[in-house]
Amino acid sequence: MLSKYNIFIVMLLLFAGLQAQEKQNTFKEAFKASLVITSDFSYEFKKSDLQKSEIILKPEFIYRLNRNSKFVLKGQLYSDLNDNLETGVPKETTVSGMNKRLFIGDRTNLELREFYFYTKIKNKLRLTIGKQQIVWGETDGLKLLDVVNPQNFREFILDDFEDSRIPLWSLKAEFDIKDIGVQFVWTPDNTYHITQDFEAPFFTKSLFKSPPKSVSTVLNKPLKPKRFIADSDVGIKLSTFTKGWDLSLNYFYFYDDLPVFYNELKVTDTNNPIVTISPKFKRQHLLGGTFNKVIGSSTLRGEIAYIFNQNFTSTSPEAVLGIETSNQFKSAIGIDYIKGENIISAQLFSDIIIDNISPYNRDKFETNTSLKISRDMMNDNLNAEVLWVHNTNHGDGYIKPQVSYWMNTKTQLFLGSSIFYGNESKLFGQFKDRSRISLGMRWGI
């Protein structure tokens, strides 16, 4: 029986064969290769030592069969010279077979980032088949609708969204019905968030209740969905432009990329208490949308997301296995103001738990704000920007300033910092000892 990945390869080759019947380019015209090399060295203030020392090679190959069809392959060779962010070789228990990285020792790994076939059929139907990123949503700093691809939390949320997303084996079909653009997404790839071990610098301990020191803990292997069709994720996005407004309506039926951590307290035969934690991935329904409109020198934009039956770790003694369920409403509204070389973006995020439950380490109504200021100088060769994300409920957040400079058309230098603050028991404040300064370079050929 064919595996889900072999099915994708067969589909990819079938469509490629059909499109190859059209007039083909010469190999020189059809083939394009590029390479981006990035280095990033970050110094952690608290430890007075390197937090990370990354060198990343990103090769990309594009082969065009004709003007309507192409193959795209993107790889990555990643090395952390000090092995600090992901100590040892990660088990990757939440990653499906063909998405696993190939580790070379503890410090280096190879990854197939993307491999897909894109084609246009009669200029009406656009298909993308294979391993890819599918991006929904338009917010900065925090995500609402961008849930199709899971994320590697190696650096919490400091990494660029494109680099932190985990591409999935998927099918994306796009077509138009009059003035409405339709995007259909099918993802049978059972890969979920990569979270970090207890001792990793960016382990998100604030999400979990810690048992007393006298109580032992057993963490079971996550219970993952495995069925090819029944456990697939499916989604649809409708988009249109009317009276100056860009609008979209999104629906996604999916497994939450973060498992529910069911926990149970038991007493052994020797009267020793023990907590057993059993992670299990659960189904979700998400309904949401986006809007944006240009108003003079500004753009008004926003996102909404309503999640049905979201699971929360609970402080209630009546919670079953430590979990309560509620619908959840998230929204973000932002404005981007552009004047000359200056861009100012402000956002207001709201997160509301609808039902009367007792969530752990958060309020039922949470508000985050963000402010991003950017300026280009020296004929766009020099860029300075700062992103500030702040939680108004708990007073924690982070500030991320960065200056980047293009030495020439192929080489960019950057100097930045990530500064966390607030109560160490909260989402952002827990990383205040991880504040750092970073120096790096990007070089493309």
What Å distances lie between residue 211 and 263, 380, 431, CA to CA? 10, 53, 21
Note whether residue 6 is domain-resident.
Answer: yes
d(CA 357, CA 376): 47
DSSP 46: T
Beta bridge partners of 314: 359
Which residue carries 């653009």 as its tokens?
181
d(CA 288, CA 303): 7
Each as own residue / partner, the long-range contacts of residues 160-167 (CB below 8 Å, 24 or more positions apart, any chain) are: 161/135, 162/133, 165/133, 165/135, 166/95, 166/99, 166/191, 166/193, 166/194, 167/99, 167/113, 167/114, 167/131, 167/132, 167/133
Task: Report the domain count for the chain.
Answer: 1
Note whether residue 34 is domain-resident.
Answer: yes
Beta bridge partners of 229: none
Note whether residue 351 is domain-resident.
Answer: no
Please give the chain's pLDDT, 445 residues, in tens: 456 666 666 666 666 666 655 556 677 889 999 999 999 999 999 999 999 999 999 999 999 999 899 999 999 999 999 899 988 888 899 999 889 999 999 999 999 999 999 999 988 999 999 999 999 988 988 999 999 999 999 999 999 999 999 999 999 999 999 999 999 999 999 999 999 888 889 999 898 887 777 788 888 889 999 898 999 999 999 999 999 999 999 999 999 999 999 998 888 777 788 989 999 999 999 999 999 999 999 999 999 999 999 999 999 999 999 999 999 999 999 999 999 999 999 999 999 999 999 999 999 999 999 999 999 999 999 999 999 999 999 999 999 999 999 999 999 999 999 999 999 999 999 999 999 999 999 999 9
The answer to whether residues 53 and 81 touch, using CB atoms and an 8 Å cutoff, is yes
The answer to whether residues 260 and 311 touch, using CB atoms and an 8 Å cutoff, is yes
The answer to whether residues 212 and 170 touch, using CB atoms and an 8 Å cutoff, is no
User: Residue 155 burial (CB < 10 Å; 0-12/13-18/19+)?
Assistant: buried
Q: Pick from 78, 136, 74: which is nearest to 102 by CA?
A: 78
Q: Domain limits at 12?
A: 1-132
Note whether residue 300 is domain-resident.
Answer: no
d(CA 88, CA 77): 17
Note whether residue 12 is domain-resident.
Answer: yes
- What is the residue type of 171? L
Note whether residue 125 is domain-resident.
Answer: yes
Beta bridge partners of 374: 343, 385
Note whether residue 146 is domain-resident.
Answer: no
d(CA 343, CA 385): 9
Note whether residue 385 is domain-resident.
Answer: no
Each as own residue / partner, the long-range contacts of residues 399-402 (CB below 8 Å, 24 or more positions apart, any chain) are: 400/158
